[in-house]
Every structure is written in structure tokens, then in C-alpha cells.
Amino acid sequence: MQMSDLSDFTTGGSIHVVVNNQVGFTTNPADNRHGLYSTNLGRTADCPIIHVNAEEPLEVEYAFKTAIEYRNTFKKDIIIDIIG
């Protein structure tokens, strides 16, 4: 992701999907990483991050449609974080 904006490494944008099921998560989030979300890496690549509730399938569908439209329009990376 960090090299995605370099001219020799570009793919015209990618859609990155994080399935964040949080099952069996035993570590306090404040103790395991420097941010609240596992998708904070997207900040270094300056790409948008969509957080969506896995229990709302229509919202997940809308998130994917939005991500596809963003990628096709701007040719840049985008992240979908499906929290369930």
C-alpha cells in the first residue's frame, strides 16, 4: 500500500477488504496497536476507509458499490473495514 502511488508500482487503485470479526479478541485495543482501528495503515497511503457493520448486509453492499465507484473514478486505493 505504501508504494501504490509510485509510478512503477501503480495498479490504478485497489479495494482492500478487512473482515474484522472480533471473535476471541482478548487484548485491550489500547494495548495492541497505536490506533483504534486495524485499518490505520490506510492513513499512510492517504486513502479513504469505510467502516461498515457486518450485521447490515445492505450497508455492506452500499460500501462495496461506493468503493468500486471511487476506485474507478479516482484510480486510487480504498479500504472497507467490515466489523462484525
Q: pLDDT (tens digit, 9 = 90+) per residue, 31-69?
A: 665 566 778 778 877 889 999 999 999 999 999 999 999
**Does any domain span residue 2?**
no
Does 48 reside within a domain? yes
* pLDDT over 80 at 30, yes or no: no
**Would you say residue 75 lies in a domain?**
yes
Distances (CA, A) of 69 to 15, 36, 40, 75, 77: 11, 27, 22, 10, 11
In-domain check, residue 41 = yes
Q: How confident is the model at residue 26 (pLDDT cuts 50, 70, 90)?
A: low
In which domain, by residue range, is 48 found? 15-83
Is 4 part of a structural domain of the chain?
Answer: no
Residue 6 lies in a domain: no
Where are the extended beta strands (E) located within 21-64?
A: 49-53
- Count structural domains, the chain: 1
Domain for residue 3, yes or no?
Answer: no
Residue 75 three-state SS: coil
Does a structural domain hold residue 8?
Answer: no
Please enumerate in sequence order all residues whose Cβ is within 8 A of that of 13, keeping only pairs 6 or more positions apart, or say none.
4, 70, 71, 72, 74, 75, 76, 77, 78
Is the pTM value of this prediction over 0.75?
yes
pLDDT at 79: 93
Q: Taking residues 15-37, what's their average pLDDT? A: 71
